[in-house]
Amino acid sequence: MNLTKKFEKLILKQLESFGCSMGVTHLVIYLASAKQGTKATFEMIGQWPQIDRLLLSIEDDPSLKVSSPNRRWYPLQENDILLGVLRVETDLKGGNWPASLDSRLKALSISLANCVSIELERQNKNEEIHYLKNQVNVIIHQLRNPLAALRTYAKLLIKRLGSDYDSIEIVERMLIEQKQINQYMISFEQLNAPIKLPLEIGEERLLLPPNLDNNKVITVQSLLRPILERGEANAKLENRDWTEPSLWPDWTLWPLKAKYAVIAEIAANLLENAFKYAQKDAEIGLAITSKGLCIFDDGKKITKNENEKIFQKGFRGSAAKKKDGTGVGLFLARKLAKQIGGDLRLLDNYSIDNAKELETLKKKNIFYLELPIKELHA
């Protein structure tokens, strides 16, 4: 265990806080240590009072080879694992230890064991994070070449297609998707840089980083266009009906404040769920109201009993039981919606707060993303 200065200081402060209490003259803490190829030992890491003394292991300290009634040992233990020991020396005559002193020392040993356990867990997590960051770097490096090759082959294919404009359009969409993947890779690269987590979003951000150019004007329409194009392509591939807006309200065309770009993340997540869980012949689509977006499918209706449960973290509805997934998509989507001042819910009886704009949209499942329309625009 590599001890940090902060951890050593914490241990010493705990020992100092107990010093000079009820006859205690010396407190020493040892941590269990077992290097590969050697037997386990206990290394001294701190003591009170702090005196000029070598940090010896228990085995190397000759004074400990003779028993003493004024010395006791308290294990630093977590469940069945012995993390270390606390050595206590006193000036009590005849080794007569008061029960209150013994009780306090046991409490101190438990506190020290918790400190050691937390520090070990912290170090293990740091090692895991370091390992994962290195793996991300390797994956990014390995992905760059095939991604560049895909772009090259796509451009060559466009040249060969000549005047076959329908096929060229498909290849151009592939290029757009390739560019988007490259943007995601840039976001992965940024994970290795020191980051400050945005408190308003939290630690469970959906993995759909927008990578927006600060100089580029964005609108709700421009955010949704690539998602709708992807949805249309999926629908054609699965031979299912697809519906998207033909008219775009003014609020979807006005410049958007950058923080509301998460609208794209929420919509993409909901459409992905629809394609994953709705029956193969069910219609899927997106509609726009004066107050938000509706992502819908005409598959098997989500039961009334599950209307709210599907937004709970880890819950998986009956339609998702036999499909891959983690049960966090809708939880995160609603969380993001609320963090930008909106809401996300599954409509019951196709109604939106007495609004009549979607009376013709009689679909089995309609997820309504309500947005703070007046606050959206730059």
Residue 201: the pLDDT is: 41
Instruction: State the pLDDT at residue 355.
Output: 54
Greater confidence (332 vs 267) lies with 267
Confidence of residue 322 (pLDDT cuts 50, 70, 90): low
Residue in the structure block whose two tokens are 């033909």: 246
Task: Give CA angle at 139 (133, 145), nearest 5°.
Answer: 145
Is the model's pLDDT at 219 over the cut of 70? yes
pLDDT at 324: 58
Report residue 190 as tokens: 């940024």
pLDDT at 249: 93
Model confidence at 206, pLDDT cuts 50, 70, 90, reads: very low
d(CA 336, CA 129): 25
pLDDT bracket for residue 373 (50, 70, 90)? very high
Average pLDDT over residues 260-266: 90
Q: What is residue 196's predicted lDDT score, i.e. its pLDDT? A: 54
pLDDT computed for residue 295 by the predictor = 94
Backbone angles phi, psi at 148, to 5 degrees: -65, -40
Going by C-alpha positions, the residue among 19, 75, 5, 21 that lies closest to residue 48 is: 19
378 vs 365: which has the higher pLDDT: 365
pLDDT over 50 at 289, yes or no: yes
Q: Which of 179-183, 205-209, 254-258 has the highest mean pLDDT?
A: 254-258
Higher local confidence (pLDDT), 198 or 312: 312
Residues ≥6 apart with Cβ < 8 Å to 337: 266, 343, 344, 369, 370
Report helix, strand or coil for 245. coil
Domain boundaries, the chain: 5-126, 214-375
Instruction: Give the CA distances from residue 241 to residues 188, 224, 231, 307, in Å, rounded to whole numbers and listed in that order.
Output: 35, 19, 11, 25
Average pLDDT over residues 81-98: 86
Residue 327 confidence (pLDDT): 67
Q: Among 96-105, 151-160, 206-215, which stretch is predicted with the lowest mean pLDDT?
A: 206-215
Please determine, for residue 207, whether its predicted confidence score (pLDDT) is greater than 70: no
- Residues 67-81 have a mean pLDDT of 88
Instruction: Compute the mean pLDDT over every residue in the chain, rounded to the nearest whole number.
Output: 82
* Percent of the chain whose pLDDT exceeds 70: 83
Compute the average pLDDT of residues 356-363.
69
Least confident of 48-62, 88-102, 113-127, 184-198: 184-198
What are the pLDDT digits (tens) for 125-183?
Answer: 988 988 888 787 777 767 777 887 888 888 889 888 988 988 998 898 888 888 888 88
Task: Note the pLDDT of residue 342.
Answer: 95
- Taking domain 5-126, whether its CATH number is 3.30.450.40 is answered by yes
DSSP labels for 108-174? HHHHHHHHHHHHHHHHHHHHHHHHHHHHHHHHHHHHHHHHHHHHHHHHHHHHHHTT-HHHHHHHHHH
pLDDT band for position 80 (cuts 50, 70, 90): confident
Q: Quick one: pLDDT band at residue 358, thresholds 50, 70, 90? A: low
Local structure of 197: helix, strand or coil: coil
Query: pLDDT, tens digit, for every residue of 221-237?
Result: 999 998 898 888 888 88
Share of the chain above pLDDT 90, in %: 29
* Amino acid 95: pLDDT: 72
User: Residues 294-320: pLDDT tens digits?
Assistant: 999 998 999 888 888 888 887 877 766
* Architecture (CATH level 2) of domain 214-375: 2-Layer Sandwich (3.30)
- Residue 348: pLDDT band by 50, 70, 90 thresholds? confident
Determine the Cα–Cα distance for residues 163 and 142; give it in Å rounded to an integer: 35
Residue 202 is predicted with a pLDDT of 42
* Residue 192: HSE in the Cβ half-sphere, 13 Å Cα cutoff: 15
Indicate the burial class of 246 (C-beta count within 10 angstroms; 0-12, 13-18, 19 or more).
exposed
